[in-house]
Structures are given as C-alpha cells and as structure tokens.
Amino acid sequence: MLIAPNIPQTSLTTQTASATSGPQAPVTHTTERRGFTAQTSAPTAEAIYADYDFTNISPDEIDDMADRLREAGAYEFSDMMMLETRGTRFQQHLCDCLYEAGITNSRSFDGAQKSDVIASFTFQIEMSRRAGDPTEFAQKSLDRLEEIHAQAQADRAKAQAVPSRAAPTPALAQSLLGFMAQSG
C-alpha cells in the first residue's frame, strides 16, 4: 500500500495507515524501540484467548479470534479445527449449502448469537457416545478447549487484579511528615 509517494514504506507507516482506515479488533501487543526502528511484538495465543469467554462466545467472535491468531502467527490447527466449525464463515457456508440443496427455506444465520461452546462440545460427545460413535478425537479437542478456557480465565482475572493505590503505611506517613518538617 502506498501512503505517500516520497515516504519510504515501513511496517510503522503501514500500521498507521491501517489503524486510521476503520475499526479494528482489539490489539494486545507491545512496541519496542531499538535504534531508530520501532519493532512490534505480536500478541501471544494466550493473550488473544484471554479476550474471549468460551462459555459465552458468538460465531463472529470465533472467526475474529481465529483471524487474530493467524495474524499473530499463533494459530494452532489442532487447537482451532473443531472450534472454527462453530464460526460464522463455516456455519454460513453450511446454511448456504442446505438452502441450495432445498433442505432449508432460508440462508439466514445469526453470527452474533452467543452460546456456550464448551457445553456444545460436551453435548456432541455425549450424543456420539449414545450412538456408539468414536469420541476420542472430540474428547481430546474438548480437553484442550477446556485447558485454553481455564488459562484465559486465569489471565483475565490476573489482568483485572491491578493493585489499587493503597494508603501509605503509618510508618511511611510518619517518615514523610518528619522529612517535610525538617525541610520546611
């Protein structure tokens, strides 16, 4: 993307241009300065997962999360494969196919409708067990999803537990008052 004809393109000018082009997903990364070049470190998978609650997530949010993981280079196919089938892109594709096959009367799909994906996986596994179908892969995926969710909850709790400004201890307050009295 060319921003101005006389300005050399750098990752910083490209980021600035894309940041002004419209609303973006939340960015959880840091910028380090080394010499004259700003270097941005991509968010970790854990930082991205911490932005989502798998017990209350929409298909749109699942697609957003997958996109952010890909952009950060943190996308793990094995972790995301079953989860992405619950994203808007995949679900809308299913609705379109069912409509074109004459099975449904509408292409309508609500990607904003939130659900408990962990409970959905659990229900799917239980239905497979009742039908006598294999569940090992689905159980492995559910176990990993629960692990990711637990870590994300812990990361969110840690981020919210920002220490407040506590009142100074009596000894510190007394020292400060004594210092102020001597200097005044």
- Please count the structural domains in the chain: 1
Other Cβ atoms within 10 Å of 41 Cβ, number: 10
- 18 lies in a domain? no
Rounded to the nearest 10 degrees, the angle between the axes of helix 136-160 and helix 117-131 is: 160
pTM of the shown model:
0.64
Which tokens sit at 155?
């990361």
User: Would you write out the chain's pLDDT as a tens digit for each of its 184 residues?
Assistant: 333 333 344 333 333 333 433 334 444 444 444 555 555 678 899 999 999 999 999 999 999 999 999 999 988 888 788 889 999 999 999 999 999 999 999 998 999 999 999 999 999 999 999 999 999 999 998 999 999 999 999 988 888 876 656 565 666 666 666 666 676 6
**109 Cα distance to chain centroid:** 22
> Which domain covers residue 73, as residue numbers?
45-160
- 65 lies in a domain? yes
